[in-house]
């Protein structure tokens, strides 16, 4: 019998709620109360997320973020600092028993990144997996991904860039003065791209194509969070992800 996935359609939340929902879903999938779940979301207001082991003050220009109304949040996954522009990307999360995926971490990244690649192919974009955790088009990164495994549950979340604003990204992330030079910005533009650079599509079409890529060959049902999950996510948002003790713990 094939596993049936729960699919939560594209939503828009603030940074704290987005991370809290992922955390709550790990717990509910772990307990067996919920089916393997994939969700799609955007970030409003725009936000910077840092990896679990990064220092907020080292990586992020917190004052600039405050000035521009950009939220700052620590993820529960490792990886680097990411600027999540409300209009610039689609984020996904996959939360499922880890036995559904290869035990090897890189192989499991490859499996889920393969769904992104399949989705992008539907809009004529030829993308490839670039270990450890990226998806690239013509050598440029269009998607960064991060994974954790807890008590038998795998969480992988990642962004698919629709369009990039490297200047804004540089103003929000702490990089050395040398790196803010025009040359460095050009260098990042040479290494990072949004899907809109390769396909004349809107962000809604990007979402639809990703959805198809993720769902191909799977049994699934569109649904929402359970009341318990929503309540736990609200609690985690307030008690953990919006707190300085979490976000500035390193």
Partner 1 sequence: MHGEARVKVAQGKLVSVKVDYEETINSIKIMGDFFLHPEAAIYGIEDALLGMDAGSDRETFRNAIENALIKYGAEVIGADAASMADAVKKAIENGVESNKTGNA
Work out how close the CB of 161 gets to partner 1 at its nearest, in angstroms, rounded to a whole number: 18
Distance CA 22, CA 96 (A): 11
Work out how close the CB of 133 gets to partner 1 at its nearest, in angstroms, rounded to a whole number: 8
Of 193, 190, 241, nearest in space to 23 by CA: 241
Work out how close the CB of 220 gets to partner 1 at its nearest, in angstroms, rounded to a whole number: 27
Work out how close the CB of 43 gets to partner 1 at its nearest, in angstroms, rounded to a whole number: 19
Nearer to partner 1, 45 or 97 (CB): 97
Nearer to partner 1, 2 or 177 (CB): 177
Nearer to partner 1, 53 or 222 (CB): 53
Work out how close the CB of 120 gets to partner 1 at its nearest, in angstroms, rounded to a whole number: 24
Nearer to partner 1, 12 or 106 (CB): 106
Nearer to partner 1, 145 or 209 (CB): 145
Distance CA 189, CA 233 (A): 36
Distance CA 247, CA 65 (A): 14
Distances (CA, A) of 6 to 35, 174, 204, 242: 6, 38, 21, 27
Distances (CA, A) of 121 to 117, 135, 206: 6, 12, 11
Nearer to partner 1, 141 or 149 (CB): 149
Distance CA 124, CA 113 (A): 17
Work out how close the CB of 50 gets to partner 1 at its nearest, in angstroms, rounded to a whole number: 9
Cβ 230 vs Cβ 237: under 8 Å = no
Footprint of partner 1 (CB under 8 A): 51-55, 58, 76-81, 105-106, 132-133, 146-150, 250
48, two tokens: 């910077």
Cβ 20 vs Cβ 241: under 8 Å = yes
């Amino acid at each position: 019998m094939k596993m049936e996935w729960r699919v939560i359609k594209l939503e828009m939340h603030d940074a704290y709620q987005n991370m809290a929902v992922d955390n709550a879903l790990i717990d509910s999938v772990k307990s067996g109360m919920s089916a393997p779940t994939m969700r799609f979301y955007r970030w409003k207001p725009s936000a910077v997320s840092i990896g679990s082991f990064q220092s907020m003050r080292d990586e992020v220009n917190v004052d600039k973020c405050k000035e521009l109304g950009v939220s700052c949040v620590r993820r529960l996954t490792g990886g680097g600092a990411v600027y999540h522009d409300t209009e610039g990307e689609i984020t996904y999360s996959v939360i499922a028993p880890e036995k559904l995926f290869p035990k090897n971490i890189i192989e499991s990244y490859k499996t889920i990144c393969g769904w992104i690649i399949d989705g992008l192919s539907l809009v004529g974009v030829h993308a490839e997996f670039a270990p450890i955790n990226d998806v690239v088009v013509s050598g440029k990164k269009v998607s960064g991904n991060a994974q954790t495994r807890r008590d038998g549950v795998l969480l992988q979340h990642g962004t698919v860039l629709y369009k990039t604003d490297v200047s804004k990204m540089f103003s929000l992330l702490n990089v050395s003065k040398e790196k803010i030079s025009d040359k460095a910005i050009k260098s990042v533009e040479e290494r990072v791209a949004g899907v809109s650079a390769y396909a004349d599509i809107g962000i809604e079409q990007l979402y639809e194509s990703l959805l198809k890529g993720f769902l191909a060959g799977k049994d699934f049902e569109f649904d929402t969070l359970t009341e318990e999950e929503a309540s736990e996510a609200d609690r985690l948002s307030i008690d953990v992800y919006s707190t300085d003790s979490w976000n500035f713990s390193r």
